[in-house]
A and B are shown apart, each in its own frame.
Chain A
């Protein structure tokens, strides 16, 4: 059977890719198929990859402080392209207040530094919307 597929992307000019790489590798060890697309992705790039790869989860890693902008844009494009069954999660440096706002906007979860992989992995398994 097909594995749960997760796109890990870094939007915008943020060059902090250590966390995204560590995460990609750890999620592989948890049995997921991770598509890593690298840094400097536009929201359009991310949506296109998500569609072509038919992923179950989009994960954005943002440490630059531009999270409100990028998540809003990706959410917009997800609606436009009918990706309602895809989970949107994120991580990086996101202050608590912004985290609340993002969840209200429709982001499914944000994981800050120090979160264990088990926690992230459990969340994905319990919330992935498509039944395989």
Chain B
């Protein structure tokens, strides 16, 4: 499958995504080579806060103006069965009328941090395929889910007025990564209170951006125009400040890092665990096995090896 061909229709894009999810590095690399560096809006926040509904409403308005929009909805893989229920599409029904919208649901594949190893590949395919903008909805597990910052150009954090006391707000990791904070479900509680509380805590980002905070009622379309305006402002900010190129480069490097991580995981566990167990059974020394794993991973003991040999009394012959 050739990338130019992939771009030609919905079905081929969908197939290409399956390919990279299946570990086809050829297509993944071809896509990576051809990315144009489009905006990726990462949307994160606790489960049920209204991420999918908000994306649907925002994308609706943008799609109506003719923008080509792709949406990726991530849901967790069950650690017990390896299966998943992917339900973000339920809230996006109204986008079915647009030919210029593409939606895909993916599972975390059991990886922590809110995304699967191949999520960057999927983003790259959609980028290369000619979309103008990507929304990436991550698993709403909350505080330590910050992987999204490595591939998004703008991060929107969705909060709800009823959730979280001050303590929780202060320790939440998402506060440091958000460019835009939306207090959704403003119809269900004291949204203005929450905004006040948040304004006290939010600080200027390292790049000079002052996080924006606003409220919305996604189900009735309230606050959507304000969110679109804020997204636009941030988009322009990172271009003007020259940060956008850096973010795109980060995405490219992060993509490659995921290959490496997956490879390491395969070497250490999936492919070889049985082999190691058998070797130990056959009486092989554990330290030998560790050396071999290190070697296969390309880790060089370098100086450490010499030091080990020089230090007396460490026992054994050393690596």
Chain A residues with CB under 8 Å of chain B are: 1-3, 24-25, 27-38, 40-42, 44-45, 48-49, 51-54, 81-82, 132
Contact assessment for B102 and A31 in the assembled complex, using a CB-CB cutoff below 8 Å: no
Give chain B residues whose Cβ lies under 8 Å from the Cβ of A35: 86-87, 89, 105
Find out whether the CB atom of B85 lies under 8 angstroms from the CB atom of A34: yes
B-side contacts of A33, CB under 8 Å = 83-84, 86, 107
User: Complex: how many Å from CA A13 to CA B20?
Assistant: 37
- With A2-B21, A35-B105 as contacts: A29 and B90 at CB distance below 8 Å: no
Kindly provide the distance from the CB of A23 to the nearest chain B CB, expressed in whole angstroms.
10
The reply to whether the CB of B278 lies closer than 8 angstroms to some CB of chain A is: no
In the complex, per-residue mask of B1-40: 1 if CB is within 8 Å of any chain A CB, else 0: 0000000001100110110011100000000000000000
Check if B281 is an interface residue, CB within 8 A of chain A. Answer: no
Q: How far is the CB of B69 from chain A (nearest CB, A)?
A: 13
Q: Please, which residues of chain A bring their CB within 8 A of the CB of B81?
A: 28-31
Given A2-B18, A51-B14, does the pair A38, B90 have CB atoms closer than 8 Å? yes
* Inter-subunit contact A28/B78 (CB<8 Å): yes
- CB of B18 within 8 A of CB of A54, answer yes
- Can you report 26 A-B residue pairs in the complex whose CB atoms are below 8 A from each other? A2-B21, A2-B22, A3-B83, A3-B84, A28-B78, A28-B83, A29-B80, A33-B83, A33-B86, A33-B107, A34-B84, A35-B87, A36-B90, A38-B87, A38-B90, A45-B93, A45-B96, A48-B96, A49-B103, A51-B14, A52-B103, A52-B104, A53-B86, A53-B105, A54-B15, A54-B17
Alpha-carbon distance between A128 and B7 when the two chains are bound, in angstroms: 27
The residues of A that contact B86 with a CB separation of less than 8 Å are 33-36, 53
B319 interface contact, C-beta 8 A? no
Closest Cβ–Cβ distance, residue B243 to chain A (whole Å): 32
Evaluate contact between A1 and B22: CB separation under 8 angstroms: yes
Whether the Cβ atoms of A29 and B83 lie closer than 8 Å is: yes
Whether B14 contacts A52 by the Cβ 8 Å rule is yes
Report B54 CB to chain A, min CB distance, Å.
Answer: 17
State the CA gap A88–B82 with chains docked (Å). Answer: 23
B15 CB to closest chain A CB, in angstroms?
Answer: 6
The closest CB in chain B to the CB of A42 belongs to B96
* Interchain nearest-CB distance for A87 vs B (Å): 16
B17 and A36 within 8 A (CB): no
Residues of A within 8 A of B82 (CB): 3, 31
**Bound CA span A23–B21, Å:** 25
**Are A36 and B14 in contact, CB atoms less than 8 angstroms apart?**
no
Q: How far is the CA of A48 from the CA of B90 in the complex (A)?
A: 13
Chain B, residue nearest A35 (CB) = B86
Partner of B102, one of A34, A52, A81: A52
Q: Assuming A2-B22, A52-B103, is B83 touching A31 (CB within 8 A)?
A: yes
